Each structure stands twice: as C-alpha cells, then as structure tokens.
Structure 1
Amino acid sequence: MSPGVIGSAAGLFAVTNIDDIVVLALFFAQGAGHRGTVRNVAAGQYLGFAAILVAAVAAAFGATFLPERAIPFLGLLPLALGVKAAVRTWRHRDDPDESAGARSGAPRILEVATVTFANGGDNVGVYVPVFTTAGPTGMTAYVIVFLILVAAWVAAGRYFATRPLIARALSRWGHILLPLVLIAIGLLILINP
C-alpha cells in the first residue's frame, strides 16, 4: 500500500463518516453502565459498515442491489428507529429510573448496524467511482484502511461519550438527542436523494 493511497483512503473515510462519531457517542451514552455496550456498538458499526462496503465493492464490479431511486428510502430505517426511541422516551418520561435517560440495556447490534448502513447509504455512491478507478489492488487498500478506521471511529465515539462534561450532557439529554438525531438523519436521507 502506498502512502498516497492510505492518505486518500483515510481522507475519504473521514469526510464521508464524520457524522458517525456523534451517533456513536450517543449510542455509547445510551448504553452507559450496561454490560456489552462497547461490544454491541463496535459489532453494529462493523456490521453496518461492512454492508456499505459490500454494496460499494459489488457496484464497482458492475452489480447493483438497489436502483438509484431507492437509496433515499434508506432514510426510513433511522427515521423509524428515531420515532421508536422517541415514543419509548415519552412513555417513560415520568419513570424515576428513566429520568436521567437510563435505558434497559446496551444498544442492540442490529440497531447500530441499521443506523450505520442507512446513514452511510449515500457513501456507496461516493465509494463506487473511487473503487472502480482504483482497481482491485487499490480497492483492497481502501477497504483495509476503512476497516481499520472504523475501530478508530468507535474509539472516538466512546472517548467523546466518556469525557466528563460531554458524558454529563449526554446522560441528561442523550435520551432526547438520540431520537432527534436519528429522525434528522432519516429525514435528510429522504429529502436529499
């Protein structure tokens, strides 16, 4: 792998996934104090991002799974999860155990994967031309760098969620912010095809 390809891959990953750090921090805050949070968030992020890579690599080789017109409908996934989380927050608004945003366990792997995939669905359109022009060797380098950086993104999300000032804010407002962020992501995907 040449340093130029590594740098390009790292830059492309950072630009297309910067919003994931906020979502990851919210997931970590949601699962604060619950067993399996780190495992579930990391596994979900890898699963969702692997699905993005599979779609991008397949499309670079000529296969398409979704017509271009169907991609905005991926926004329905985080929108539905956001509405579900908002309803859960509203229903438990008076519960003393829920007052600080507590939840009944760590975020679920498929929940994190679904949000990751839907939020990154538009990345497929960016990755395909890059992968196509990079060829098989360059594409492999991009995929390896991306997979390494997923771990860095998970670590960054956890880092931000555990900073005392941020952790207090997320502890107090995370149960409201997560549904709002998921709904906003869903609406942005639906509105901006």
Structure 2
Amino acid sequence: MSALCVLALLCSMTLTRSAPLTCEQMLRPLDQVDLHGLEGRRALVAASLSHPPFMERLRQRETASVHFSSNTSDTSISFRRSTRFDNVCYYGSYNISLQGSSFVFDNITTTFTHTTCHDCVLLSFDVESGKRQHFYLFSRRRQLDHEEIEEFKAQVKCLNMPPPVVMDPAKELCPEETAEKAEGQKD
C-alpha cells in the first residue's frame, strides 16, 4: 500500500513539472544580466508590436540586429542597433546603464526578459510610457528551433499582441557600423 502511495506521489510530481508555464512565469524579467554573455552581435529573429498599424512597417523590415559591448564598469554598456529597409541600413548607437534587468534610451524603457533560448536576448521595449510595447527576440543564430519560436509566440500571446513577424534568415544583415557611419547617421 505504501509503495502505491509513493508511486502516486511521484506521478503527480511529474505532472506538476510538465504543466505549462503561466504568463507571469513566461514574461518575468531576468534576475541578473550577464554582461560578458551579452556581448556581441545578434540578429532579430522575430518581433511583435502592440500597435497594429506599426506591424506593417515591421513586416517591411528586411533585417535588424543589436550589438552589445562592455564599457569599463559593471553596469555601463554600449548598445548599437542596425535596421535594413529597402536595402538601406540605418544605425543607432547608445551608451546605456543597466538598472537591474532594464535600461533606458530615448525615453524607452527596455527590459531583458527570460527565454529558454540559450543564445537569445529577449527585449521588451516600453514606448511612450506604456502606450506601446515592442517585443523583440534576437539570437546569434539566424534561425531558431521550432520550440524556441513557439515559446516566443506564447509569450507574445500572453501580452495580447499580434502574432509575431518572423524574419527571413536568408536576408543579409547590415554591415557592422563604422566610425564614419556612426557620426553621420542615427536611427
């Protein structure tokens, strides 16, 4: 009889572990941002916006990428981004200071959000003090596994945002920004 109780307990524990995550669990900010693991370039793999009229502009984006690099402190980093529209590249470069799992640039609060994708950075952008939200999944790989994309789609659904735009991994990323481009052109 006690063996039967132990078996029932083990089975219920297995079922509990395989239960789907709640939206609160899926959308939690990172506890700690690993600056050294964050460094480098990542391509935009998928994204969604809470403002449907801007979704068409997102669909027209050919490629996008972000590049993080460390400065001298534990919280100060460089954040560069590039976007390609109509085969023209646009760049933006910012020195940012991490505040927990967030940073602010151009009055946009950006939060690093948890993802199970091992080489991804999931960023939630709070635009215009909560009027709009942008949700972007970046990775060192241009194409993710099915499960990783499905997790992102579930996260987007939790936010009540339109289904995400998945980028074409065959399209060329913008070249790395040079000092001349950085001075002459901001996104």
TM-score when scaled to structure 2? 0.25
Q: Which structure has the bigger radius of gyration?
A: 2
Q: Between Structure 1 and Structure 2, which shows a larger proportion of strand residues?
A: 2
Between Structure 1 and Structure 2, the one with more helix by share is 1
Higher relative contact order (CA 8 A, sep 6+): 1
